[in-house]
């Protein structure tokens, strides 16, 4: 029997600690690392990050946009990076934030979650603003192939609140509706559901109820966007068990030295562990 994404994530967080590191090869980072802003530079960047972190970080999150901007050669580098990271034992959360009408979502699901696809990752990020139900083909593919889907709820950027905290006819915010629908998908799953949410570490105490999620919550916005580990307590209150803090530039800025990348990762992991509940880990 193969294990669900939720079960594999549960295991990875237990073994490697509660952390996601983003691979966001910004042009400025390529330059700072002495690399060219092209597919070759991108490939070397990934090689260094994978050598430094692939065997020790629970979740690695390549940001697709930074690969797509280099065209088909950039996407080829992404395919190879996904494979190598999975071989090194990291779970790969591909950050693509896709969303569309259901019939098109089915094609995205095939692209990112079907084992036959060269871009197959362990999980992807998805945008629910065509309705959480429109993402159903992704949820079905994830279930069929032991993958996961992380759906945006309360994003780390300041512009998100106007849409996400708008109140619908039933008196719930848009974000709470997303949270509740994802919680339903995870109901009864053990040890952890495969459907996650994204809630930024920068959003403060929003009063949203995350107590029934029974799945992972990705918390970006740490480091470069101003959030720090202690903010997790403000944002999540007592619902810290399955929060997965996510850092990109904060760590990548310490490259290209493998030793420095590892030590930056160790530092943020220690800060996160100090805040997150020891109950589940």
Ligand X SMILES: O=C(O)c1cc(=O)[nH]c(=O)n1[C@@H]1O[C@H](COP(=O)(O)O)[C@@H](O)[C@H]1O
Binding residues for ligand X, per CB under 6 A? Answer: 22, 24, 63, 95, 125, 155-156, 198, 200, 220-221, 223-225, 246-250
Q: Which residue has the tokens 């950027």?
A: 157
CB of 22 to ligand X, least distance (A): 5
Q: For residues 176 and 246, which CB has a smaller minimum distance to ligand X in the complex?
A: 246
Rank residues 116 and 162 by Cβ distance to ligand X and give the closer one: 162
| Least distance from ligand X to the Cβ atom of residue 95, Å | 5
Given a contact cutoff of 8 angstroms between Cβ atoms, the answer to whether 99 and 126 are in contact is yes
**Three-state secondary-structure class, residue 263:** helix
Nearer to ligand X among residue 191 and residue 275 (C-beta): 275
Q: Please, what is the minimum distance in Å from the beta carbon of residue 190 to ligand X?
A: 26
CB of 179 to ligand X, least distance (A): 14
Residue (127 or 191) nearer to ligand X, CB: 127
Question: CA torsion 269→228→224→149, rounded to 10°?
Answer: 70
DSSP letters of 7-67?
Answer: HHHHHHHHHH-S-EEEE---HHHHHHTT--SSHHHHHHHHHHHHHHHTTT-SEEEEBHHHH
Catalytic residues: 97
- Which tokens in the block code for residue 214? 């029974």
Q: How far apart are CA 34 and CA 44, in angstroms?
A: 10
């Amino acid at each position: 029997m193969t294990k669900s994404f939720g079960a594999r994530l549960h295991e990875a967080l237990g073994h490697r600690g509660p952390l996601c590191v983003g691979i966001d090869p910004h042009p400025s980072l390529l330059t700072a690392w002495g690399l060219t802003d092209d597919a070759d530079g991108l490939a070397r960047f990934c090689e260094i990050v994978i050598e430094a972190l692939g065997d020790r970080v629970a979740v690695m999150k390549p940001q697709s946009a930074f690969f797509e901007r280099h065209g088909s050669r950039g996407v080829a580098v992404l395919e190879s990076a996904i494979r190598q990271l999975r071989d090194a034992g990291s779970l790969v959360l591909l950050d693509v934030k896709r969303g569309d009408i259901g019939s098109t979502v089915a094609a995205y699901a095939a692209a990112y979650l079907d084992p036959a696809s060269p871009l197959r990752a362990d999980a992807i990020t998805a945008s629910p603003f065509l309705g959480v139900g429109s993402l159903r083909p992704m949820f079905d593919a994830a279930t069929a192939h032991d993958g996961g889907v992380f759906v945006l709820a309360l994003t780390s950027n300041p512009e998100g609140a106007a849409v996400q905290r708008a109140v619908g006819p039933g008196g719930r915010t848009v974000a709470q509706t997303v949270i509740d629908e994802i919680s339903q998908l995870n109901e009864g799953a053990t040890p952890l559901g495969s459907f996650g949410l994204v809630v930024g570490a920068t959003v403060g105490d929003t009063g949203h109820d995350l107590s029934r999620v029974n799945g992972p919550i990705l918390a970006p916005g740490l480091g470069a966007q101003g959030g720090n580990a202690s903010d997790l307590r403000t944002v999540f209150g007592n619902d810290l068990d399955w929060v997965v803090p996510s850092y990109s530039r904060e760590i990548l800025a310490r490259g290209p030295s493998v030793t420095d990348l590892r030590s930056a990762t160790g530092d943020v992991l220690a800060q996160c562990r100090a805040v997150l509940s020891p109950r589940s880990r």
